[in-house]
């Protein structure tokens, strides 16, 4: 358990709803859910979630901190925005799902083996380096996400498609050596750093 996590538990003691309201993006909306279940019914991946959004909101109100933050559910969200469009109470459900996932990550208690979480991390690392997504590297790191053996297998399986993409100039093999960047890479990185500082300062308060 990370220090932040311990301190947050301490700070909000038994009031998880207040913790969510203060720390999760759009978290102040959670109390407005009226448990109609339209979000859960509208979610295209709904049946695959352990706890659909409506249930997560109820769990937050019931103070089930660990079950919520360690849950894989909000990581299942694909941002299709069906729930937001349909929610009669106009809750920004998609944003709250991402907010919860982000908060769990910040506390270091997110489900480590959830594939979406892994992909999200790879994507961010890839993007934050040059300010551009390097698709070749992202693809390769994705293949090797679950170990070398599986990585080689997947890479071989995808070789034909890869060659085709190179031939039709959809993929540049030279990207493997660094790859393209934004014009002002230094500036970009400074910007990201500043944002992280601001975020950290906000959390500490």
Min dist CB 33 to other proteins, Å, is 8
The nearest distance, CB 172 to other proteins, in angstroms, is 51
State in angstroms the smallest separation of the CB of 28 from other proteins.
9
Instruction: Output 23 or 126, the one with its CB closest to other proteins.
Output: 23
Kindly state the smallest distance separating residue 31's Cβ from other proteins, in Å.
Answer: 5
Determine contact, residues 69/117, Cβ cutoff 8 Å. no
Residue written as token pair 């694909």: 78
Closest CB to other proteins among residues 17, 136: 17
- CB closer to other proteins out of 27 and 139: 27
The answer to whether the CB of 100 falls within 8 A of the CB of 69 is: yes
Q: Which parts of 24-178 fold into alpha helices (H)? A: 38-42, 53-61, 65-69, 82-86, 93-107, 115-130, 135-143, 148-167
- Angle ∠(26,20,113) on CA atoms, nearest 5: 95
Contacts with other proteins by CB under 8 A lie at: 17, 31-32, 34-35, 54-55, 58-59, 61-62, 64, 89
Q: What is the CA radius of gyration of the chain?
A: 20
Nearer to other proteins, 20 or 136 (CB): 20
């Amino acid at each position: 358990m990370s220090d932040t996590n311990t301190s947050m538990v301490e700070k909000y003691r038994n009031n998880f709803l207040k913790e969510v309201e203060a720390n999760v993006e759009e978290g102040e909306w959670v109390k407005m859910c009226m448990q109609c279940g339209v979000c859960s019914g509208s979610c295209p991946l709904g049946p695959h979630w352990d706890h659909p959004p409506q249930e997560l909101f109820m769990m937050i109100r019931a103070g089930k901190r660990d079950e919520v933050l360690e849950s894989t559910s909000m990581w299942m969200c694909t941002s299709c925005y069906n729930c937001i469009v349909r929610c009669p109470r106009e809750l920004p459900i998609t944003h709250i799902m991402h907010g919860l996932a982000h908060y769990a990550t910040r506390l270091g208690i997110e489900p480590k083996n959830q594939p979406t979480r892994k992909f999200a991390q790879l994507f961010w690392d890839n993007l934050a380096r040059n300010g551009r997504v390097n698709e070749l590297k992202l693809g390769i790191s994705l293949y090797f996400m679950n170990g070398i053996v599986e990585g080689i297998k997947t890479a071989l399986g995808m070789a034909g498609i890869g060659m085709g993409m190179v031939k039709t100039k959809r993929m540049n093999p030279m990207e493997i050596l660094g790859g393209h960047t934004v014009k002002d890479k230094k500036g970009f990185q400074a910007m990201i750093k500043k944002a992280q500082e601001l975020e950290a300062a906000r959390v500490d308060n």
